[in-house]
Amino acid sequence: MQKSNKSIAGYHLLMILSSVDGEFAPEEGLKLQEYLADEFPFKINLDDELDVIANLQPEEWKDHFEFHAKCFLEDSTENERKDFVKFAKSLIKADDKVSDQEHDYYMILKNQWSLN
């Protein structure tokens, strides 16, 4: 897998976080739009990235998530990671319920970035 920059890695992380519970709530979509607007103030085509994510099998999600968490870690400061984790938490809480899967992936992120 090719290394991603911080913004692209964050997109992959959030897309998996929003989908890991088997449903993509409209509220999560709004949070993703917020991330995209902040990270990509210019027009960018993420179709290829979305295609990669959409073609993952559920058993591949964890490895893909951990890979992009590492990419984000390598390109970010500690404050950027802390801000991202806060944003990720707001994403998984956007639909007023946090599934076990969402919580597990959220904890993977915090543990991989040593933010416990």
pLDDT in tens, 19-60: 998 888 889 999 999 999 999 878 788 999 989 999 999 899
Provide φ and ψ at 63, rounded to 5°: -60, -40
Q: Give the mean pLDDT of the chain.
A: 93
Q: Residue 46 and residue 10: Cα distance in Å, rounded?
A: 12
Q: Which CATH class is domain 6-112?
A: mainly alpha
**Angle formed by the axes of helices 6-19 and 61-74, nearest 10°:** 150
